[in-house]
Amino acid sequence: MKLDFKAMDENWLANFKGGEKGLLAKMFADEHNRIIKARLIAGATVGDHAHEMGSEIIFALSGEATATTDGVEEKLTAGDCHYCPKGHRHFLKNDGPEDFVFFAVVPQQ
């Protein structure tokens, strides 16, 4: 099944998961997965949250950010993949001068 993110509407999600500022997202969701292409604007964060129902995989496309999982910080740039396992907490901060663009997959386990 092809997902054409170029044809999807981009939605503004202010203070996503309790974070600062917001992100722009194109999203596909069904009973098995949420698949998202997003742009976290400069200086924005995705708030600290737990993945109780499933994991999350974030693949960095451009820009830079810091992912913090269970208190451990990791820098992300294009080509990096961040993984937050089921049952763990994480948040994301765009600490670069441009949008942090990424794909995310959140299985509905």
- The domain of 67 spans 21-107
User: Domains in the chain: how many in total?
Assistant: 1
Q: Indicate whether 1 belongs to any domain.
A: no
- Euclidean distance between CA atoms 73 and 66, whole angstroms: 6
pTM of the model: 0.92
pLDDT of residue 109: 65
- Euclidean distance between CA atoms 48 and 28, whole angstroms: 22
pLDDT of residue 53: 85
Q: Determine which helix (DSSP H) or strand (DSSP E) holds 62, and give its type and residue range.
A: strand 56-62
CATH of the domain at 50: 2.60.120.10
Choose among 49, 52, 45: nearest CA to 66. Answer: 45
Integer angstrom CA distances of residue 9 from 28, 37, 39: 11, 11, 13
pLDDT in tens, the chain (109 residues): 999 999 999 999 999 999 999 999 999 999 999 999 999 999 999 999 999 888 999 999 999 999 999 999 999 999 999 999 999 999 999 999 999 999 999 998 6
Q: Indicate whether 67 belongs to any domain.
A: yes
Q: Indicate whether 15 belongs to any domain.
A: no
